[in-house]
Structure 1
Amino acid sequence: MDLLHTLTHRHTTKAYDTERKIPAPVVAQLLEALRYSPSSVNSQPWHFFVADNDAGKAQIAKATSSPFAFNASRVMDASHVIVLSARNTLPPEYLQTLSDQEEADGRYANADARAQAHKGRAGFVGLHEQAGDVPVWTQKQTYIAQGFLLLSAALLGVDATPMEGFDAAILSTELELAEKGLSPAVIVALGYHSDADFNARLPKSRLPEKSIFSHI
């Protein structure tokens, strides 16, 4: 599928066809899109909660109570719903896990290369710890993953709805995020739009190129 066509035809879905489910092979590709998303110093500071049944979606939908009730049907009617959460801290043991995985994946030529990579990542994390903005930083990285998910969904012909309209405290309680050292970033519903999705029929609207690009 042509990229420009995909970009101009994807939209934020407002209503889902409850009878259509995303095929398992397509779901697997979407989850891999999340797993392979880039992050600063390969920190991968995220965790994704996937709901593919009514019970799981209902648990997430509890966070769409007033004033976010407009998102409840989008959560419940979608084929799959993913909660993208960000790590609140990046402790030494987690950084060690990253280093071990990189070694297992063959990224280091030798022990010195591993030590240098580990030192560099720990140093960069340390800068954010000193600045006191680790949670903000990890949330930013998690939004990169959301971008990869949305584009991948569009390329695979899957509709999506990114949602910040939810009660973070309720969602954190339902998924026990604080106990896991996580904070919710965004919810993404996935599936196929229904005829009730008015947004699918509207033309795309974006500011003109000259107003958002400056060539220097």
Structure 2
Amino acid sequence: MSLHSLSKTRYTTKAYDAAKRIPDETFQELLTLLRHAPSSVNSQPWHFVVAATPEARQQIAAAGMHEGYAYNEGKVLNASHVIVFCTRTSMTDEHLDAVLAQETADGRFDTEQAKAGTAASRLSYVNLHRYDQKDLQHWMEKQTYLALGTLLLAAAASGVDATPIEGCDFRALDKALGLREKGYTSVVVAALGYRAESDFNAKLPKSRLPEATVVSWL
């Protein structure tokens, strides 16, 4: 299916068939695409927690989908896999060094000068958001959402249904998963699997504002 067709047919799944599971090979491909998602200056300020068993999904639902967010509980419990998207709580020197070391190992630098230039450029952007614009956390979270967008399109291309979930008690989820002690905070959850026959949203026509409203040409 073309990307054009996928954009018109993918949708936010509201109910999952608990009996259907994403094949391991397909899910591993989705993880690979997720790990290779774009981020500003290749900062990769993210971490992904995967819940692939009923027990793990129950842990996510119990922590985050209670009280005012109970309407999302069934999506998490009945999905095949659930991914918690996490963002760093700070951009540490250790993380920046790790990114640079991986780029070096992957052969991105022909010279030490090129390596030093990349490190300096990346740090300048980090410091721009840390000190000048004072929105470093928000900037890092925006990179995490780029990864979410990559996953949603990749899932559709793989014939997998998906639901991005912001209706969640993320403070409680952070505590249950011990995220803040590890330097992360959860920002969004994605359920993945195959739609149930009862999913009302699957039968509704997709609706978007017309091109003339959202696109301007210079």
Q: Normalising to structure 2: TM-score of the pair?
A: 0.97
CA offset at residue 180 of structure 1? Answer: 1.1
The yes-or-no answer on 1:207 pairing with 2:192 is no
> What does residue 194 of structure 1 align with?
196
With 158-167 and 180-189 compared, the bigger mean Cα shift is at 180-189
Question: Which residue identity is paired with 2:42?
Answer: N
Query: Is the CA contact (8 Å cut-off) linking 1:83 and 1:188 kept in structure 2?
Result: yes
Query: Is the CA contact (8 Å cut-off) linking 1:46 and 1:85 kept in structure 2?
Result: yes
User: What are the residue-to-residue correspondences of 1:9-158 with 2, within 5 Å?
Assistant: 9-62=9-62, 63-130=64-131, 131-158=133-160
> What does residue 175 of structure 2 align with?
173
Query: Is the CA contact (8 Å cut-off) linking 1:37 and 1:148 kept in structure 2?
Result: yes
| SS of residue matched to 1:21 | coil
Question: Which residue identity is paired with 1:48?
Answer: F
| SS of residue matched to 1:205 | coil
CA offset at residue 132 of structure 1? Answer: 2.6
Question: Which residue identity is paired with 2:84?
Answer: V
- Percent sequence identity over aligned pairs: 47
**2-side partners of 1:123 and 1:102: how far apart?**
18
**2-side partners of 1:67 and 1:161: how far apart?**
18
**2-side partners of 1:172 and 1:87: how far apart?**
12
| SS of residue matched to 2:163 | strand
- Structure 1: where are the runs of 5+ without partners? none
Q: Deviations over 1:70-93 (max 9, x none)?
A: 000000000000000101111111
| SS of residue matched to 2:18 | coil
Q: Deviations over 1:7-53 (max 9, x none)?
A: 11111001101111000110011101110000000000000000000
CA offset at residue 3 of structure 1? Answer: 1.3
| SS of residue matched to 1:38 | coil
With 1-10 and 188-197 compared, the bigger mean Cα shift is at 1-10
Question: Which residue identity is paired with 2:89?
Answer: N
**2-side partners of 1:66 and 1:51: how far apart?**
21
Q: Deviations over 1:140-177 (max 9, x none)?
A: 00000000000000000000000000001110111111
Q: Kindly report the root-mean-square deviation, in angstroms, between the aligned alpha carbons of the 2 structures.
A: 0.8
**2-side partners of 1:8 and 1:101: how far apart?**
37
Question: Which residue identity is paired with 2:27?
Answer: V
Question: Which residue identity is paired with 1:104?
Answer: A
Q: Runs of at least 4 residues of structure 1 off by over 3 A?
A: none
CA offset at residue 135 of structure 1? Answer: 1.0
Q: Normalising to structure 1: TM-score of the pair?
A: 0.98
Query: Is the CA contact (8 Å cut-off) linking 1:88 and 1:134 kept in structure 2?
Result: no
